[in-house]
Structure 1
Amino acid sequence: MANLNRLFKVDISRQSRAASYANFGIGLITALAPGFYGLTAKDFESAKLEDMARLVQVYSSYDDAIEAGVTGAALNATNRYFAQTPTPDQLVIADISAAYKNTAILLNGKDSGVPQAIAAIAIVVGDSVLTATFQDSEWEGTVAEKITIDENNTSLYRVAGRVVFVAGADVNLESSVVEPVAYPSAIVDIKRQNNNWFLQMSTSRDDALLQQIADWTEAQPDKMAVVVDNSKTFAITQYLHDNQYAGTFSVCTRIASNYLDAALAGRCLTMAPGSETWALKTLAGVQTDSWSEQEYQDITALNGNTFEDYGSGIMVTFPGTSGDGESIEVVRFCFWQRDRMQKNLATLFINKNKIGHDPDGYEVVCANMESSLAEGQRAGGIMQDFADGDTALSGYTVTRPTMAEVTGAQRIKGDLTVKFQFYLRHAIKHVDAIGNAVTYGV
């Protein structure tokens, strides 16, 4: 039989690759010894290193975290995150133990589940999983030499290693010691395992760690962080303000175990970037603070945030600002808009055989950028076209480069610079209503 290609030959080249957008709606809780490794009192002594390798786990509900064995502060923060309405779809929890010099554990008097043992522990040190039990006032086992008693509290012990299981004792965050410069490498290891998150929270209230988180976050093009400030002097809020950090914001509280960061993240990350404000939000599962007027003024002067009861059933966050004073939603939207435009340009170019360095090519590029900005406008982060008096203004503009503006060297290298501008659509958060009451006929 003759080949039909002699008469009609058809070839199809698939041009359907697309760059993946970053995620701007998932929270990350970094916790010391989160307990999600699934070990129990029956099997902790037979734990294998390969089963302890993952530093990150993803959960779609609070119950999932409970079933996985998440405990302590990590579980409490998870509860507040998923307690919001609408309920978030996902939460990432990561073990940040590598950022600590040692982990403090405090005997709690509860049944360890291990026969004849007051407490039991398993840790990872290097390539080994070490275990020990606490009996007759001392630790026995392969990890015993890694455990030291606190000089001031005979129920408190310090462990040098990543704690993957503990029973009969609780991890004590306040007494655990943070390494001064270990966080950056720890979070990079976490990102290698899972980078599908946007807003980081920490169960720690230690400024030594929170400052490292803020420093690292500010250098990221697609991440933000929220920290809880429970200090008397609003120290971490002051730090964010003094460094003019846009990527990190604080919420202040004087109430112990008040996970305002997780609650606020769970409430606002469900809203699309550009559609929201992080001020005036009600939160579930957390308590309001009763700040004096002076304390409130001190907090907001440092661009910090509060959750207060204004009476009449109004319990809301305010003012919704980052460390540099910019609105949280504006920072988030600009990250989203940058990612959207960058990935759309990448998708355009990898699916074209060639885009010419000429006016026709410039138009293709500019049209793609305008399409990305139109997405931002529809999302609510960019103003619609508007009039300022008799002047009509566009919400966004992309300036077409002319042939005369492009140098020969740029053409040879394939470089092109396109300038654009858009007007941010800010949110109204405060209203002063000024009126007059008059008497008719007077």
Structure 2
Amino acid sequence: MEALNLVLFVVEAVAYFVLMVTLLHFRHRLGLGVFLTALGVMHFMETYLAAVFYVSLPFGDVSPGSSVFFSGKLMMILMLYLWEDAAAVRQPIYGLFLGNLLTVGIAWVLQLHQPLQLSSDQTPDVDFLKEMGWLMIWGTALLYVDSLGIILLYEKLGDFFRRRVVLRFIISGFVLLTFDQVGFFAALHYFLDVPVAVFWGGWKAKMLAVCLYGAMFAIYEYRIRRLGAAAAARSISDVFGDLTFRERYNDLLERTGRDMLTGVYDRTRMELEAPLMVREALRQGLSASVLIIDADHFKDVNDGYGHLQGDAVLKSIAARLGTTLRSSDRIFRFGGEEFVAVCPGTNHEEGLLLAERLRWTIATSVKTPDGSPVTVSIGVAAADEDGTSFTTVLSAADGRLYAAKKSGRNCVVGRSGVVNSGKPADPPVNAIG
């Protein structure tokens, strides 16, 4: 009997793999939804079989629902990631998790009804619904962690076995299904009083299933898909970001708080981020410079050439600021024709050099429609030399901007006064890169 059960175990694993990989292989013709639906529709059966249906194998008592079908589902999720991307694989992860929460919620609401008993053989089993509900919630929570974990581990193993795709596939399955066996058996033991001996039989069966799926995966990869080179390496943080929708949040955040005209960050974004940038620089023992840049005589540009030309000048100024500042710096539109640059890791002297480079770049590259140069005045202050909060440093820079305007404009003013003015023939030395 044990030998027959083992043969059936292998047949079930092969049949599951062949069917699911066929759907995955033809996903562009059939639609990915067919594969995802087939992946999710068996979840209730898997959980039910794991709770009540066990067979005897040579190495112990096991449940095919857990050892064959759940293990296969997890390996299919990893294969989906390998052939698509993290954005695709998160669909079944979240769909299964939220779908089973909904299923359990509906089951609990149904218990409020007074059902009819049509016959003695059709009595609703409310206790079964409760037990299965908690098991499904726990099982899908584990599946969520398993799915993220198996993908992240697969990518991490790429640091050591970049071209050993099958080896990474099998090791990832061994580790995460061991974790899953511990977690799911704990729930079975708690809710259904399943004996401890079943744990070891189930663990061995899952390891056998991984070996079977790994072997079939290798055959498919190298005989059917003819995989040539390993996939390009991705950082763990990028993969995790895709799996958890973090990249959607980052994209939304990146597009939120932008000035519609110039494309730089707006004042609201400055009030949120600039204090954090200054505080973090000081925490690391670094300085942070704050520059206020104001376009000189900008009202004359608007009055003389119209607001559309004035807008074009502002866009050009913002573009020059963006290309001259470093990637670690942030530029914000403060209001009207004023911009604020926050430059972490930059002391006051370096901030003055950067400000002079900005002034020179704009004076030599931004022009009005008649070819006249557009100039800017800049006030510079730094933390912690001028204060330890962004507001204090900004206030100091604002005062120096006012001094720059009084000094004839087209100049940079720091703590010691005017640094430079006029139109130099050569660009200033950029001491901070």
TM-score > 0.5, shorter chain as reference: no
Scaled by the length of structure 1, what TM-score is found?
A: 0.24
More strand by share: 1
Scaled by the length of structure 2, what TM-score is found?
A: 0.24
Larger radius of gyration: 2
